[in-house]
Structures are given as C-alpha cells and as structure tokens.
Amino acid sequence: MQVLAVNGNYLHAQYRMGNGRNGAVRIHRNVVFVIERLNFVDGIWSLAMKPSDAILSTKVGNKAAKLAKPYINYASELAKPAYYSGQLVVATVKTSVRATVSGISSAANTAVGARSPTKM
C-alpha cells in the first residue's frame, strides 16, 4: 500500500489489485500498524534489497517474479527437510553438551565430597 494523502485521522491509500488495476481505500490511522526498523542489520538489509525492489517494481520484473514464484515455492518445500534436520542436529548437540557438563559437574562434586575432611 502507498499512502496518497492524509486527511485528519484518515489515510487515503492506494494498492494494486490482483487483476493489475489500482484500488484505493480510506483507512483510519489507528488501525494502521507501521514498523520502522532502525537497527544496523535492518538498515543494511534494506539497503541491499533496494535494487531488487526497483527491478521487481517494473513490468518485466513483476512478470519474472510471477513466473519464478512456483519454482521458488517448490525449492523452499524441498529445502524444508534439510532445514528441520539441521535444527534437530543443533538441538541434539545442545542437549549432549548440557548433559556432558552436568555429568562432569556431578562427578567433580562427588570426588570433592568424598575427600572432604568433614565426611571422614
């Protein structure tokens, strides 16, 4: 959506419909949620995405995006098992590291407790 004008508490916004025509709507400003990101990483990401936004806003870029969308969706579906497997590996490593640290801590406490002069 693109805000065309502000009239008191209302925004006059324009948007592109599915058939390619532009539509307009009047929205109360209280129902509009705007996210403004100001941290460094989001600024770099926004700067990196500006060229692709400029290309995709042209007719050729829009047509290419529509043609590529099914292939991108298919590729993301193919990548999901690898992503979830990676997440499982990371969780497994975290659990094994925590168990190892807990075991070493327990063994050290037992060894120190057995040699403690108060236990003799």
pLDDT digits (tens, 9 = 90+) for 38-62: 677 777 877 888 888 888 888 898 8
Residues 29 and 51 in one domain: no
Continuous segment of H or E residues that includes residue 5: strand 2-7
What's the pLDDT tens digit per position in 51-104?
Answer: 888 888 888 988 988 999 999 889 989 999 998 999 999 999 999 999 999 999
**What pLDDT shows up at residue 115?**
63
Contact predicate 65/53, CB 8 Å: no
Tokens 């290309």 -> residue:
55
Distance CA 74, CA 67 (A): 13
Q: Is residue 29 part of a domain?
A: yes
Element containing residue 11 per DSSP (H, E): strand 10-16
Q: What is the extent of the structural domain holding 55? A: 36-80
At residue 89, the pLDDT reads 94
- Domains in the chain, number: 2
Task: Over range 7-16, report the average pLDDT.
Answer: 88
Residue 48 covered by a domain: yes
Residue 23 CA to residue 17 CA, distance in Å, equals 6
Q: What is the pLDDT of residue 101?
A: 94
